[in-house]
Structure 1
Amino acid sequence: MSQTKPFDPDPVLKTLPTAPGVYRMFDDAGTVIYVGKARNLKRRVSSYFRKGAHNAKTQALVGQVADLQVTVTHTEAEALILENNLIKEHRPRYNVLLRDDKTYPFIYLSTQQDFPRLGFHRGQRRGEGRYFGPFPSSGAVRETLNHLQKVFPVRQCRDSFYRHRTRPCLQYQIGRCTAPCVGYISEADYAKDVRHVEMFLSGQSNEVVDELVRRMEAAAEDQDFEQAARLRDRITSLRRIQERQYVSGARGDVDVIACRLRENLACVQVFVIRDGQNLGNQTYFPRVPPETGPEEILYGFIARHYLGQSPPAELLVSHELEDGEVLEEAMSHDAGHRVRISARLRGERRRWMEMAQRNADHALSARMSGEALMERRFDDIQQALSLEAIPERIECFDISHTRGEATVASCVVMGREGPIKDDYRRFNIDGITDGDDYAAMHQALTRRFQRLRDGEGTAPDVLLIDGGLGQLRQAEAVLEALDIEGVLAVGISKGPRRKPGEEVLLVSGRSDEIRLAPESPGLHLLQQVRDEAHRFAITGHRNRRGKSRQQSSLEEIPGLGAKRRQALMKQFGGLKGIKRAGVEDLSRVQGISTALAERIHGHLNG
């Protein structure tokens, strides 16, 4: 956005203190475009407006600034925490943004119960019991739970299910639970399995194996060979898990974080190691401004990812961080324990980092090949539709209903980076003749583009309509009535045989039909968008239809409250009986006047 009046920073800079704090930069629309923290606010903020060598990113940022605001803090670490919170709240354009802002999942053990439960947990840890983790993904948690259940038959069912059992469930039948719900195991024996689970998840798997070996030998001496065989199988399973998860030389809790940058696309790879066990890895693609270095990306990622969470005792990073001590101090204060950041790695730790970097390189290659394919698809669409420029945004509309019931229109959005799901919309269609798809499309498009005319949302370059010429005419009429320019309406029809690859494109303003080759990348993209709009519309329609069918038609009659509805149902035995009844019969029910009886009869019988 161009500046209407150049920003004069001098009045603000003169009043800036030399204390630590956070500064926010705004554009002329009042939007926060950058949040930063500083050890010395006056020195740091003034540096942006000095004439000299700034990279393209900083020059672009300064060119957008229309206002500045600062918040003074006591320490730089406090400023870092505030900066993190403000970035999460405002998501400024020129900051490194982490899209995946979920908390790590944990394994939860409800130790306060007589027969504790083991399960998956994500979110705030408020319940009594122990939490093991964090794990890098929900899949890692579920895989670990599955392995544990094979070795330690501790129940994983929910308490509501557990309390109402009168006989063992399938988990008991397949040997994955000892059925404490019906008293098949004593509390003392169950507690042994729970203690072994705690030891294993705390990194004491060797101690668990040693104890099981002693119990197996004792059972063999007592000639209890069935028990000895069961313990032997447990030991074998535990050792297999150890082989799969053990990381040689690991000590304590460590996260290995590698950043790779290629053609302004950043990838951060995080390997999670807890008590000598490799719990898996997670890949992130933070959105970064141009000319941002890996050190700055790592710094922003760590601040956004770990502050407010449960960081491990040590983070191994691929690049030396400027002001890493401040980040350590902030995380240590926030977590309540010492957190170190290490970049100079040797031996085994260096090999872990090389593994993380290789994974980051692989993820970048896969991502870029996917983006290259998307670029080819958009290029093909530009050529096929004779557009002046490559489209940046495609919106597709579709209609779904069942014989006119619960009509829903969908709008899905595809950008150069892929589906933009935050901009997906559904429209519940009312006030039209049942089954009139043209009227439904006209209503949905009118509601969408009225908002655009009022300044809400972003205009698409291509408006894709799932349908033929009639549907396309509705789009043209709406765009003309609302005076929307710069949007090309295109209808996509399945062709005479309705087979994929034989689609026909109808372009607004052109009399000829366009048929793309079945192997055309552009056609594949249009098919993908069309199918996504169809899926999204059907899902919305089914939800609306299910909701309407759960609601009695009597509830739609004004003046007929719950007590009167109940009285009618009791008197006539159900909705069919009410529908068969005449006005006089209805008016005999207590609380039903003649006028209300006529209204009920008219509503139910048309």
Structure 2
Amino acid sequence: MGEPALKIQLKTLPNAPGVYQYFDEEGTLIYVGKAKNLKKRVSSYFTKTHDSGKTRVLVKKIASVKHIVVETETDALLLENNLIKKNKPRYNVLLKDDKSYPWICLKKERFPRVFSTRRVFKDGSEYFGPYTSMKTVSTLLDLIKGLYQLRTCNYDLSPEKVASGKYKVCLEYHLGNCKGACEGLQTAQAYEENIIAIREILKGNFKDSLSQFKQQMKQFAEEMQFEEAQKIKEKIEVLENYQAKSTIVNPKISNVDVFSIVSDESFGYVNFLQISYGSIIRSHTLEIKKKLEETDLQLLELAITEIRQRFNSNSKEIYVPFKVNVGENLKITVPQLGDKKHILDLSIRNAKYFRMERFKQVKITDPDRHVKRIMAQMKADLRLGEEPRHIECFDNSNIQGTHPVAACVVFKNGKPSKKDYRHFNIKTVEGPDDFASMEEVVYRRYKRLVEENQPLPQLIIIDGGKGQLSSALKSLDALELRGKIAIIGIAKRLEELFYPEDPIPLYLDKKSETLKIIQHLRNEAHRFGIEHHRNRRSKTALNTELESIPGVGDKTIVELLKKFKSVKRIANAKLDELEAVVGVSRAEKIYNFYHTK
């Protein structure tokens, strides 16, 4: 379909909520989006100048537009989500998660069984879940089995079959795990009371069960049945212990979903907590791959719709870090303090931990993706024009004004490239002048790289504040490299980054990966420079000691060090060993110098 036809389509779009679909020339669906006003939203793609290169590419590929009008924004959100999952368009975010989740089933039958399953049948049974981990399911089932005696057999326990004596109690009865409903030793009413209590526990409400057990314990104690009372007491302790572990806030907070998001350049991580009676009964984090530099708001709205569908949530209220639009009949709360804020902070912490774990896994399984993410993050954090794949950091080592040296360390793809490290002995500067030393070293380094046609770094880091940065800039100006290489200075406190011609420093988050890499660079430059400085001072000190011996000159010292390798060995050498190298006269002077000392 040609451009005129596309323009006609854009002009005839309705001013109503709905979902729009973009197709390329081959008729392939490449993007699905939702809109409060279809005409305004779709037209904006073709009238705005987009910052994102990916969005510009998308717009170029659009050959035709289709739309579906719906009644409300909520309907649009749900439809958008379903179309994305069904068609997986190239330019939509990926919602990866196709595994089946476990449920807990209360089977619809006389004397209902309680068990875990990954398959849901529409047979009238009750299903609780889905749960995000089998460990949670196992813990709940162990708790229930410890509190209530339930059957595990799959017999048809109809009144007729039980009355006929068709079944016999099994080992579970003799172990005390079942009350023998198959032989009519437990009534359906008594069993149903247990199921009612179990249903409440699965909803997160422990209050009724605790109250019931305490009443039973008191009754047994009054009747002098202390063994039975002790058993009930143990069940109360189990239930209270589980409740203590799972209750995190005010028990009045119930039937609430909590959502939070953390993101980087490539992915968003949305955490979901479901709260019932003050307890977390479900936790899940969804990883979303960005396609068009989507905002946190866009990702969170999409994820909320997807997660609530996936986990069959019917909560009437959600807690979120900022306002979202995900449904008319849903109360949106942005907590500012108190218990609600505590829950939201917990959700954010879960999202951050998940992100860190994913980083560790990706670092091992997909190092290329890890490097790309780190580089993209550094580019954004440091406001660079390109990814800093090659970084060089300079540091002066000038202790007590002696032996001024400098170090240049090189990082490639975020890691040290030690074969490219370089030492510099300051040649043109007399005395301790850090600014002049930095100017000399930067000039020498890049003059050589240019002359040898070596690749230049994308970023230079100067260990020092504005003064050191200005000195380095003079050298770049002299070499006509100003503007060709990004350069920043780091203050001693490390959180402050200085940019040329910008009086206000940039502050990075102390926990950011970008700052960690810069810190690593600075520490490496400092270590490498100090090491070289120490070697120079040590060498000078050794030579000075030998030079202080009367009658011993530079040539003699060189001969001695070639033979003995160190001053210590010279000092410990025998007279005849020294004579073999420097002759009798000088050997006696050296031998007497050390042995008289």
Give the shorter-chain TM-score range.
0.5 to 0.7
Q: Secondary structure at the match of 1:24?
A: strand
- What is the aligned partner in structure 2 of residue 63 from structure 1? 60
Deviates more, 1:353-362 or 1:177-186: 177-186
Q: For the residues of structure 2 that align with 1:379 and 1:227, how far apart are their CA atoms?
A: 59
Q: Is the 8 A contact 1:245 1:277 kept in 2?
A: yes
Task: Find the partner of 1:369 among 346, 356, 360.
Answer: 360
**Conservation of the 8 A alpha-carbon contact between 2:259 and 2:270:** yes
Q: Is the 8 A contact 1:9 1:49 kept in 2?
A: no
Cα offset, 1:24, TM superposition: 0.4
The aligned residue for residue 44 of structure 2 is 47
1:107 aligns with 2:94: no
Note if 1:283 corresponds to 2:285.
yes
Indicate the residue corresponding to 2:518 in structure 1. none
* C-alpha distance after superposition, 1:36-71 (max 9, x if no partner): 122222111111001424433321221221221112
Contact 1:22-1:37 within 8 A present in 2 as well:
yes
In the alignment, what sits opposite 1:150? 146
Cα separation, 2, equivalents of 1:357 and 1:379: 22
**C-alpha distance in structure 2 between counterparts of 1:221 and 1:276, whole Å:** 34
* Contact 1:259–1:360 (CA under 8 A) maintained in structure 2: yes
Give yes or no for contact 2:104–2:128 (8 Å, CA) kept in 1: yes
Q: What's the CA shift for 1:248?
A: 1.9
Q: Which deviates further from its counterpart, 248-257 or 128-137? A: 128-137
CA contact (8 A) 2:362 2:370 kept: no
Partners of 1:28 and 1:82 in 2: how far apart? 24
User: 1:25·1:65 contact (CA, 8 Å) conserved in 2?
Assistant: yes
User: Is the contact made by 2:359 and 2:370 (CA closer than 8 Å) also made in structure 1?
Assistant: no
Aligned to 2:262: 260
Cα separation, partners in 2 of 1:101 and 1:328, compared to 1, 3 Å: farther
Identify which of 271, 274, 278 aligns with 1:272: 274
Describe how 1:134-283 pairs up with structure 2 within 5 A. 134-159=130-155, 166-250=167-251, 251-283=253-285
For the 8 Å contact 2:217–2:229, the answer to whether it is kept is yes
Offset of residue 234 of structure 1: 1.5
- Whether the 8 Å contact between 1:95 and 1:289 is mirrored in structure 2 is yes
1:354 aligns to what?
345
User: What TM-score, normalized to structure 2?
Assistant: 0.55
Contact 2:73–2:327 at 8 Å: present in 1 too?
no
After TM superposition, give the deviation of residue 202 of structure 1 in Å: 4.0
Map of 1:536-575 to 2, 5 A cutoff? none
Separation in structure 2 between the aligned mates of residue 31 and residue 290 of structure 1, nearest angstrom = 18
CA displacement at 1:173 relative to structure 2: 4.3
**Structure 1 partner of 2:327:** 328
1:248 to 1:304, Cα distance in 2 relative to 1, 3 A: closer
Q: Does 1:82 align with 2:79?
A: yes
Alpha-carbon offset, residue 290 of structure 1: 4.2
After superposition, the Cα gap between the structure-2 partners of 1:366 and 1:240, relative to the gap in structure 1 and judged at 3 Å, is same
Partner of 2:386: none
CA distance in 2, matches of 1:305, 1:235: 34
Distance in 2 of aligned mates of 1:377 and 1:301: 27
Does the 8 Å CA contact 2:19/2:32 hold for their aligned counterparts? yes
- Give the aligned partner of residue 424 of structure 1: none
- How many residue pairs get aligned? The number is 364
1:72 to 42, 58, 69: 69
- Structure 2 match to 1:342: 333
Cα distance change of structure 1 residues 174 and 71 upon mapping to structure 2, 3 Å threshold:
same
Aligned equivalents of 1:34 and 1:160: distance in 2? 53
Cα deviation, residue 33, structure 1:
1.1
TM-superposed CA distance for 1:352, in Å, is 1.5
Among 299, 302, 320, the alignment partner of 2:301 is 299
CA gap of 1:284–1:160, structure 2 versus 1, over 3 A, is: farther
Secondary structure class of the residue paired with 2:198: helix
Using the TM superposition, give the Cα deviation of residue 154 of structure 1 relative to its aligned residue in structure 2, in angstroms.
Answer: 2.0
Which AA in structure 2 matches 1:288?
K
Q: Against the structure 1 CA distance between its residues 199 and 371, is the aligned structure 2 distance closer, same or farther, given a 3 Å change threshold?
A: closer
Is contact 1:264–1:290 with CA below 8 Å preserved after alignment?
no
The Cα RMSD (Å) is: 3.2
**Residue deviations 1:128-150, cap 9 Å, x none?**
34444453334322321121111
The 1-side partners of 2:327 and 2:48 are apart by 33
Tell me, yes or no, if the aligned pair for 1:252 and 1:313 is still in contact at 8 Å.
no
In the alignment, which residue of structure 2 is the partner of 1:581? none
Q: Counterpart amino acid of 1:271?
A: L
Distance change in 2, residues 1:304/1:194 (3 Å): closer
| Structure 1 residue 177: Cα displacement | 2.5
Task: Supply the AA of the counterpart residue of 1:17.
Answer: P
* 1:202–1:22 CA distance, 2 compared to 1 (3 A): closer
Higher CA-based Rg: 2
Identical-pair percentage? 31
Decide whether the 8 Å contact of 1:7 with 1:67 is kept in 2: no
Match of 2:33?
A: 36
Q: What is aligned with 2:315?
A: 312
Q: Contact 1:294–1:319 (CA<8 Å) still a contact in 2? A: no
Distance in 1, matches of 2:88 and 2:157, equals: 42
Give me the whole-angstrom Cα distance separating, in 2, the residues matched to 1:271 and 1:177: 35
In structure 2, the CA distance between the partners of 1:301 and 1:69, relative to structure 1 (3 Å rule), is: same
**Counterpart of 2:500?**
none
8 A contact 1:255–1:316 mirrored in 2:
yes
Aligned letter for 1:221?
A: E
Q: What is the CA–CA distance in structure 2 between the aligned matches of 1:343 and 1:18, rounded to whole Å?
A: 30
- Pair 1:376–1:289, CA change in 2 (3 A): closer
Given that residues 197 and 208 in structure 2 are in contact (C-alpha distance below 8 angstroms), is that contact kept between their aligned partners in structure 1? no
Change (3 A) 1:52 1:157: same
Gaps of 5+ in 1: 330-337, 381-606
Secondary structure at the aligned position of 1:113 is classed as: coil
2:96 is equivalent to residue 94 of structure 1 = no
Q: How many Å separate the matches in 1 of 2:302 and 2:270?
A: 11
Taking structure 1 as the reference length, what is the TM-score of the superposition? 0.54
* Letter of the structure 2 residue corresponding to residue 346 of structure 1: L
The 2-side partners of 1:277 and 1:119 are apart by: 22
Query: Compared with structure 1, are the counterparts of its residues 293 and 170 closer, same or farther at alpha carbon in structure 2 (3 Å cutoff)?
Result: farther
Amino acid at match of 2:341: R
* Cα deviation digits, residues 184-236 of structure 1 (max 9, x gap): 43334323322322343344422322222222122122122232222122212
Secondary structure of residue in 2 paired with 1:115: coil
Distance (whole Å) between structure 2 residues aligned to residue 156 and residue 316 of structure 1: 39
Alpha-carbon distance between aligned partners in 1 of 2:317 and 2:23, rounded to the nearest angstrom:
36
Match of 1:595 in 2: none
Using a 3 Å threshold, how does the CA distance of structure 1 residues 340 and 100 change in structure 2: closer, same or farther? farther
Q: 1:372 to 1:160 in 2, by over 3 A?
A: farther
Q: 1:379 & 1:206 partners in 2: Cα distance?
A: 48
In structure 2, do the counterparts of structure 1 residues 171 and 243 end up closer, same or farther at CA, with 3 Å as the change threshold? farther
Which whole-Å CA distance do the structure 2 matches of 1:366 and 1:184 have between them?
52
